[in-house]
A and B are shown apart, each in its own frame.
Chain A
Amino acid sequence: MTHYWFPDNTVLCNFACVSRLDLLESILRGRGRWAEAIAYEASRSARVYPELNSVARDRWLGDPIEIDDQGDVEQIERIRRAAFGGRRSELEAPR
């Protein structure tokens, strides 16, 4: 089974801005999932594209996947920076 993986909510926004989230839903056919960070991002983008609220409401991406294993969280931070150019905090960590 093919899984579709989106690193951010750009795809959701693109479909929402032309009011065709239904098309994305039909393409994914229940194979789409989202992590909680993307769900959070979509909730913020819903201020611009209110239709995004329907993704969470209608649950066609399922419950957001929560990642709480320390090793996994560390890997997410690494990938966020190394592959996607995410920045460290602008301020040094307090001591």
Chain B
Amino acid sequence: MHGVTVERVKQLITDSGLGQAEFAAKVGLDGSKMSKSLAGVRRFTSLDLARIADMGATTVDWLLGADKPVPAVAARAAAQVATSQDVAIEEAGRLSQLWSDLSYLGYAQGRVSLEPVPKTGRCVDQGRKLAAVARRRAGDERVNAWEVRDLAPLVEDVFGIDVRIMSLPDGFEGLSWTDDLCGLMVVGSSELPSRQRFTIAHELGHLLAGDDQGLHLDGSLDDAAHKRKPSEMRANAFAAEFLLPGDVLTRQVRDMVWTDRSFAELACRLLVSPATLAWRLFNLDLIDRGSCAAFARMRAWDAATLAGRTDSFAEWVASASQPRVPLPLMRTMLRAYRDGQATLRPLAGLLGMDTTLLRQAMGLSREDSPLSS
């Protein structure tokens, strides 16, 4: 057994405030066995480690020194109240662990490699070039991001990147995570669906640019200091060009007579917020600053009302407010189950369901019909 295990068990004993013998007793280990193990004469068994990990509120992997690297910010003291950022990071760690475990069973995420875009020149230009590459890739799959309301399945199917949507109540927008085995994003559920959609595109930009190995946090895309970072400018330029390509937008507004209504209809058709559309049009020299300022003040609900699209907008709000598990992960777990490599429990855990109910839902247990006699 590694020296690291002995050191970590000693650390847990110290942190517990208990004596060695008392700690040993609490984990059901004979005192002399504990002494021998700490002296390196006897090796801890799997059961010893499981019970020590339980007692110390940690994992067996950590005791073995075999834990995956977890972002430093995730290591805050457990006593502190978890923020949305902590929750999102913890979720990213959990999902990446699931991919790691699936890899152990012989399954891979299927992430797509794009042709690299050199990180030279202005970061805004890099973002645009990257968006052009991504757009071509999506085009190969016969999808155009500016026509697709729900970006999560597009990101998963076209780029092989997992999208998790979950409640992050104190305004944390999203994060991206990448390691050797998976790329994923965790994004907050939202009653502002076009904002959530932009965040997904923004995180996609980070992932495709390879901005960080490990974790990239986007607490607020509006934060002024955050926005000025080169990687953020690149991700924002990517999202703008990916969702509202210059050539597409230019074509769409040719011969446009600008009124509140025509603008609102365009925002609804392109599935972006009025503010994002206004600034994009201004940056492309398609409207003047005064129009930009006026249109940017329009609220999404008002745009939907002006465009006669309140029903579909309300449905979109309801949809964006819901949590979502990554479908590639779910499909792969299902395949592992069907291949006899895993039980249903990992999949039930991902879906937050009881295994028996999932078995029933999958039709694996008998379902009586109300019409039966």
Q: Which of A37, A82, A88 contacts B46 (CB 8 A)?
A: A37
Identify whether the interface residues of B are mostly helix, strand, loop, or mixed: helix
**Are A91 and B58 in touch, CB under 8 angstroms?**
yes
Chain A residues near B342: list those with CB within 8 A.
82-85
A68: chain B residues within 8 A (beta carbon): 1, 42-46
A57 at the interface (CB under 8 A from B): no
Q: At the interface, yes or no: B11 with Cβ under 8 Å from chain A?
A: yes
- Please report the C-alpha to C-alpha distance between residue A37 and residue B161 in the assembled complex, in whole angstroms: 37
Contact A85 B346, beta carbon cutoff 8 Å: yes
User: What number of residue pairs across chains A and B have CB atoms under 8 A from each other?
Assistant: 110
CB distance from B182 to the nearest CB of A (A): 14
A77 and B97 alpha carbons, distance in the complex (Å): 12
Min Cβ gap A61→B in Å is 15
A70 at the interface (CB under 8 A from B): yes
Complex: A13 Cα to B244 Cα, angstroms: 62
- Say how far A39's CB is from chain B's closest CB, in angstroms: 9
Complex Cα gap A37–B47 (Å): 6
Residue B227 is within 8 A (CB to CB) of chain A in the complex:
no
Residue count of chain A within 8 Å CB distance of chain B: 29
**CB-based closest 6 A-B pairs:** A85-B345, A82-B101, A93-B62, A68-B43, A85-B346, A91-B57
Binding site for B on A (CB under 8 A): 35-37, 40, 66-70, 72-74, 76-78, 81-85, 87-95
List B residues at the A interface (Cβ < 8 Å). 1-2, 5, 11-12, 15, 28, 42-47, 49-50, 53-54, 56-62, 64, 66-67, 70, 72, 74-76, 78, 90, 93-94, 97, 101-102, 104-105, 336, 341-349, 355
20 A-B pairs within 8 Å (CB atoms) are namely A40-B28, A67-B46, A69-B43, A73-B46, A78-B101, A81-B97, A83-B105, A83-B343, A83-B346, A84-B343, A84-B345, A85-B342, A85-B355, A88-B59, A92-B70, A92-B75, A93-B58, A93-B67, A94-B56, A95-B75
